[in-house]
Amino acid sequence: MYLHGTSTINKLGHLEIGGCDTVELAARYGTPLYIMDEALIRQRCREYVDAFRGTGLKFQVAYASKAFCVKAMCRIAEEEGMSLDVVSDGELYTALQAGFPAARIHFHGNNKTPQEIQMAIDAGIGCFVVDNFVELHMLNAIAGEKRQKVNVLLRITPGVEAHTHEYISTGQTDSKFGFDLGNGSAYAAVKEASELPHLELLGVHSHIGSQIFETTGFKMAVDKVADFAVQVRDELNVLFPVINVGGGFGIRYVEGDTPLPVASYVEAIADSIQTKFSAEGYPLPEIWSEPGRSIVGDSGTTLYTVGTHKDIPGVRKYVSVDGGMTDNPRPALYEAVYEAMLANRGNDANEEVVSVAGKCCESGDMLIWDINLPKVISGDLLAVACTGAYNYAMASNYNRIRRPAVVFVKDGQADVVVKRETFDDLVGNDVVPERMMQVSKTV
């Protein structure tokens, strides 16, 4: 398994992350356990901030909190000088509870409710990324009732297809997100937004997809956005002080994944913006961006205990762990692939090929197919790398499995940032109607 960040094998042959022995972490906190390498998260934040600073352009880097939204993570984003992208009242609430400055929060989503819009305006967030005409008018009306003017970006679909899984590709015309550039709705949206009295139009936003390994798509999107900016300047007399290029920068999950260094993405985008806008004599806009996965993805490791295993001679050996699609739905959803190792026997040579199964009552609950490991026995600890993004965030209670705890590790210290769910948490919202409370007479 590729060792990310501070991960290393210690003298005992155990996987160590952030100076903490994962075998000890398992004993102390139980498994499954999400372990987050705090130093690596901070390093990634700094790579973005430094790279954008290096462009000389004004910028905001908004951590896309959908990737992993808990209060401690919002604190890190704040401390590292990031802005924050939220897509629901729950993410907004989490950020506010963490003391994240509202003025640096950007609110996304294709179906914001009136209640969410009110909550966000009352909190004083920095910007709404408006997705469609219904929202545009609703936002103007609600802001009007509150006698306020709110900042907006318009999310446009630039007609660029990112080379990634179709479920996480978003920039193409046939997408649920945004105003389409090709069919004129983006143009109409700019016209309307610039005329609505309670909206301050800052510019446009595009996000072409996720887990992208090259810069071509971003550059194409910037070109289209720049041409569009020039068109609306010339025809509608509207200037965009901000261009938001979204997120989507890829990470290394397994060998063969070839992400670019953060600075390469940022420089390519900034170059395109500078070249295109300068050529048109357009005042250089601020660049905003929204990385999620590339901030937290490779910082996460999930630790499981191996339970049962079964050998089907000549076919396959299944090794079952105490978690699965409930803590990591990505293999089932996107056929996502992961690397793993035995955390308690990091120096043992690989001896067999096994497939790692989750414990859910679902044949699709497979975490990893055909991975080389030492001879696996019950009680071994399996560490799966690169689970920091869209794992805890997309975890569920399917089969009434309790969501794992999350610990941040750094310099030999481990801090629980999300407690393991309890049985009481599981049934806490269940209500049994009074009429079902009588003891059955038929039994």
Ligand X SMILES: Cc1ncc(COP(=O)(O)O)c(C=O)c1O
293 annotated to a ligand binding site: yes
For ligand X, which is the closer residue by CB, 15 or 193?
193
Min CB(98)–ligand X separation in Å: 19
Residue ranges that bind ligand X, judged by CB under 6 A: 64, 67, 85, 108, 170, 207, 210, 246-249, 290-294
State the catalytic residue, choosing from 69, 127, 360, 361: 361
294's contact among ligand X, ligand LYS, none, with CB below 5 to 8 A by partner kind, is ligand X
Residue 244 interface partner, choices ligand X, ligand LYS, none, CB cut-off 5-8 Å depending on type: none
- Transcribe 235-256 into DSSP letters: HH----SEEE----B---SSTT
Helices (H), 199-358: 216-236, 262-279, 293-296, 330-334
Peptide bond into 197 cis (omega under 30): no
CB of 245 to ligand X, least distance (A): 10
β-bridge mates for residue 85, sequence order: 64, 106
Among ligand X, ligand LYS, none, partner that 330 touches (CB below 5 to 8 angstroms by kind): ligand LYS
Binding-site size, ligand LYS (CB under 6 A): 6
| Residue 292 marked ligand-binding | yes
**CA 192/CA 189 separation, integer angstroms:** 5
Site string for ligand LYS, 332-361 (x = CB under 6 A): --x---------------------------
Contact yes or no for 239/283 (Cβ under 8 A): yes
Question: Any binding-site annotation on 290?
Answer: yes
CB of 131 to ligand LYS, least distance (A): 12
Nearest-angstrom CA–CA distance, 343 and 380: 8
Our CB check for ligand LYS shows the closer of 335 and 370 to be: 335
Q: How far is CA 1 from CA 33, 58, 335, 374, in A?
A: 18, 39, 19, 12
Kindly tell me which of 67 and 96 has the beta carbon lying closer to ligand LYS: 67
Cα 71 → chain centroid: 15
Cα–Cα nearest to 420, from 21, 34, 20: 34
Q: Is 388 annotated as a binding residue?
A: no
Furthest-apart CA pair in the chain: how many Å?
84
Give 172's contacts (C-beta < 8 A, 6+ positions apart). Answer: 157, 159, 160, 161
List the one residue from 39, 102, 141, 168 that touches ligand LYS (CB under 6 A).
168
360 is catalytic: no
Tokens of 401: 């499995």
Q: Which of ligand X, ligand LYS, none is residue 108 near (CB under 5 to 8 Å by kind)?
A: ligand X
Among 210, 289, 299, 302, binds ligand LYS (CB under 6 A): 210
- Residue 390 contacts ligand LYS per CB under 6 A: yes
Can you tell me the distance from the alpha carbon of 352 to that of 350, in angstroms, rounded to the nearest whole number?
A: 6
Q: How far is the CB of 175 from ligand X (least distance, A)?
A: 10
> Is 243 or 296 the residue whose CB approaches ligand LYS more closely?
296
CA distance 36 to 68: 11
Candidate list 66, 108, 219, 224; residue touching ligand LYS; CB under 6 A = 66
Q: Tell how far CA 435 is from the center of its chain.
A: 44
Q: What is residue 65's DSSP assignment?
A: G
DSSP 169: B
Q: Is 390 annotated as a binding residue?
A: yes
Check the annotation: does 135 bind a ligand: no
Whole-number Å distance between alpha carbons of 425 and 409: 25
Q: Which is nearer to ligand X, 210 or 344 (CB)?
A: 210
- Residues within the annotated binding site? 248, 290-293, 330, 334, 362, 390
Residues known to be catalytic: 361
- Residues within the annotated binding site for pyridoxal 5'-phosphate? 248, 290-293, 390
Point out which residues bind ligand LYS (CB under 6 A).
66, 168, 210, 330, 334, 390
- Residues within the annotated binding site for substrate? 293, 330, 334, 362, 390
